[in-house]
Amino acid sequence: MKRFGLTLVFVFPLSLLASGFAFAADDSKVKAATEQVERGAKKIPDGQIGQGVEETAKGIGNTVSQGAKYSGEKLKDAGEDRRAAREECLEQCAR
């Protein structure tokens, strides 16, 4: 049992660390939506108030939507990584 605990202590944090690197390149849609907000906000001081407000509002909606999808994917992948680490840990402890 002590061996199981030690294995869990070392394997679980490593699985979280490894899963963090897999998500680094996956946020391009969130960044694009954030840039849309910035573009819209820059139009307002230039006198394009209607277009600026419209693009900013759409960008905010896209940012929320894409951010939620991205977060959901990260949580799903983290759960899968945790499950795989747990199974590996159980296999090692059974030996």
Buried b (16+ CB within 10 A) or exposed e, 66-76: beeebeeebee
Residue whose C-alpha is closest to residue 12's, from 72, 89, 76, 93: 89
Alpha carbon of residue 35 to chain centroid: 18
Predicted confidence (pLDDT) per residue in 49-75, tens digit? 999 999 999 999 999 999 999 988 888
For tokens 């199974």, the residue is 87
pLDDT cut 70: percent of the chain above it: 72
* Separation between Cα atoms, residue 14 and residue 84, nearest integer Å: 12
> What whole-number distance in Å separates Cα of residue 85 and Cα of residue 57?
42
Give me the percent of the chain exceeding a pLDDT of 90: 37
Per the CB < 8 A criterion, the answer to whether 19 and 78 are in contact is: yes
Predicted pLDDT of residue 81: 86
CA angle 42, 45, 48 (to 5 degrees): 85
Residue 24, pLDDT above cutoff 70: no
